[in-house]
Structure 1
Amino acid sequence: MTKPDQPMPPWWATGLLFENCNCEGICPGHIHFSNDCTHERCMGYWAIEIDSGFFGQVDLSGLRCVVAFDSPQKMINGKWTEAIIVDEAASQKQLLAIEAILTGSAGGPWEILDRFVEKRLPTKQLPIEIQQVQNVKKLKIGNLIKSVVTPLVGTAKNIPVTIENMFNQIHGSSQIIARGETNFTDDPITINTSETHALISTFRWEMVGQ
C-alpha cells in the first residue's frame, strides 16, 4: 500500500459481508492467520454490499464490491495476491473512495489486511449481482464468478448456526456459519469450491480521521 500524499477524510460504512474459500469446515485462517489452512493455498473471496456509509462527502450507499484473494497456507506469512472488483454502477468518486478503503490507504480494518498483500491486481468495474433469498446469498459477476453461500441449519430449522463474540478485522462479531460453492476464474486467481467454508455477517467499518 502506498500512503496518500493528502490526508484521507473520515469515513464509515455498514452492510452485508459474506465469504467463501476452499478450506474444509471453518477456515483455520479465519480463527487466526497463524493457523495452517486446509490446502497449500487458501483461495476465496469477500463479497460486500454497503447499506449506508460516507467517505467524506461521497455517499457509499448501495455499493457492491468483491475482493478475491490467493494466500499461502499460513496466511500470516503474507505474499497474498488480491483483486478488487467494483460494481459498474459506481461513479468515479465512489470507485476512488471504495478503492481507498479496500486497499487500506484510507486506514481502518482493511489497512491491517493490506499488510499481507504482496501483489495487488488492477481494480475492475463489472456488473455485480447479489441476491438474497431468505438467508441464502448468491453472487454473480458475468462469466467471471458464480457463487452460492448457504447457512448451516441448527436445531431450530429456521435459525442458522452462528459464531458469537468472534473478533475479526472486517466481519461483525456475530457470524453465520455457512457452506459455499464458487466458480471464479480471473488469472492468476482461480477459485473452485463445493461445500466449503463460508461465513455471513453484517459489518461496520469506520475511520475517524488520519
Structure 2
Amino acid sequence: MSWHIEGTYFENCNCDMICPCTTSGLTAPADNGRCMVVLAFHVDSGDVDGVDVGGLTVCIVADSPALMGEGGWKAGVLIDAAASAEQAEALVAVFGGQRGGPMAGLAGLIGERAGLQTAEISYSDDGRRHQVRAGDAVEIMVEDFVSPFDPTGQGVKVSGVGFPAHPPAAGTAASSRVSAFGMTWDNAGKNSFSAPFAWSA
C-alpha cells in the first residue's frame, strides 16, 4: 500500500537565526551545547493505506547533541486528539519513519524514544505567521523574516537544504514554550523555518 500527505510545517529550535543544523544537512553543530527543537506538521490532505488523515496535526519534540547528524536524539511525538485510533496509527507510522519517506532518514538518529501522547492541537498558518498549541505541552508562534530591503516582500528563503519541506522560509519565534516528555524550554526569539510539504512513498 502507498501513502501521500501534504500540508504545511514549521519548526522552532534554540539556534540563532539561521540554524546551521538544517542548512548544513545536520553536519554542522548547533549554536548551543544541545539542539532543542519542535517540528509541527499540519496535514491539509492525505491518505495512508486508504485512511484519510487530512486536517490533523503532529508535533515532534526533540533534544539532540549539538551535532545532530551523530544521532543520540531524545524524541517524543504528540498526536492530534481529533485523530481516530486508525488515523493516529497511520500518522505515527509516517512521521515515525516506519513507512519510508522523508522521516525514515531521521528515525535512525533517535536514541531515546520518549513516548507518544495525544493532545488537543490547534494549528494556524497565514503564510507568514505560524502557530501551534498542543495541550499544555507546546505553545509556539513564529514569524517568517522579511528583509526591509526586499521589495517583493516574499521573505528570506533558504535554498539547497536537503530537508524535504522546501524552500524553507527563515524566521524567529515570537513566543515558544515547551514542556513535554521531560523536556522543558523557552525558545522565544530563536530560529524558525517554515514551508509547505508534499510527501509520498
Question: Do these two structures clear the TM 0.5 threshold for a shared fold by scoring above it?
Answer: yes
Q: Provide the identity percentage.
A: 25
| 1:149 to partner: Cα distance | 0.5
| 1:141 to partner: Cα distance | 1.7
**Aligned AA (1:80):** W
Q: Distance in 2 between matches of 1:93 and 1:30?
A: 32
| 1:134 to partner: Cα distance | 5.1
Is 2:25 the partner of 1:30? no
**Aligned AA (1:163):** V
- Residue equivalent to 2:145: 152
Q: Distance in 2 between matches of 1:93 and 1:143?
A: 24
Q: Distance in 1 between matches of 2:63 and 2:127?
A: 30
Question: Structure 1 length as normaliser, TM-score?
Answer: 0.89
Question: Structure 2 length as normaliser, TM-score?
Answer: 0.93
Q: Distance in 1 between matches of 2:23 and 2:127?
A: 27
Q: Distance in 2 between matches of 1:13 and 1:108?
A: 11
Is this contact kept in 2: 1:44–1:191, CA < 8 A?
Answer: no
Counterparts in 2 of 1:187-206, with a 5 A limit? 187-206=181-200
Q: What residue ranges of structure 1 are gaps of 5+ in the alignment? A: 1-8
- Residue equivalent to 1:3: none
Is 2:124 the partner of 1:116? no
| 1:35 to partner: Cα distance | 0.5
| 1:133 to partner: Cα distance | 4.2
Give the match's secondary structure for 2:188.
strand
* Change beyond 3 A, Cα 1:117–1:134: closer
| 1:178 to partner: Cα distance | 0.8
Give 1:176's match in structure 2, choosing from 169, 177, 187.
Answer: 169
Q: Distance in 2 between matches of 1:10 and 1:167?
A: 26
Aligned-residue CA RMSD in angstroms? 1.4
Is this contact kept in 2: 1:43–1:190, CA < 8 A?
Answer: no
Q: Which runs of 4+ in 1 moved over 6 A?
A: none
**Aligned AA (2:155):** P
Give the match's secondary structure for 1:94.
helix
Give the match's secondary structure for 1:39.
coil
| 1:159 to partner: Cα distance | 2.5
